Amino acid sequence: MSQVVLTVLYPWPINAEKFNADYEAHLDLLHEKARIPSGPKPYSVVRFLAGPDGNPPFYQSFTMAFPSAQALQEAMSTVGMQEVAADAERISTGGKPTILIGEPKH
């Protein structure tokens, strides 16, 4: 089994300040429900910047690796992670987040 990466892409929010505050609380919920200890985080968050063509279609991304597709499915099937997913949709005021699952290529 190979590693898989979950990526969540958030469209531009209606109110960026509110999204940013809500997102901090969302990450706290993720840490609680996924039992992520303090210290090095097993995920990355990227806020996108304007490029030569202006703002990109997405405001921010969240990326987290899992050891296998089965591990991702098992994690996402828990009540806690379903709560986290519902919260991600709630705070994404610019539209529904885009969810991508991929395999790293070396």
Whole-number CA gyration radius for the chain = 14
Domain that holds residue 72: 4-102
Tell me: the pLDDT tens digits for 3-49? Answer: 999 999 999 999 999 999 999 999 999 999 998 888 889 999 999 99
Stated pTM of the model: 0.92
Beta bridge partners of 45: 62
SS3 state of residue 1: coil
The domain that contains 45 carries what CATH number? Answer: 3.30.70.100
User: In the chain, how many domains are there?
Assistant: 1
Amino acid in position 31: H
Q: Which helix (H) or strand (E) holds 25?
A: helix 16-33
Other C-beta atoms closer than 10 Å to the C-beta of 62 total 20
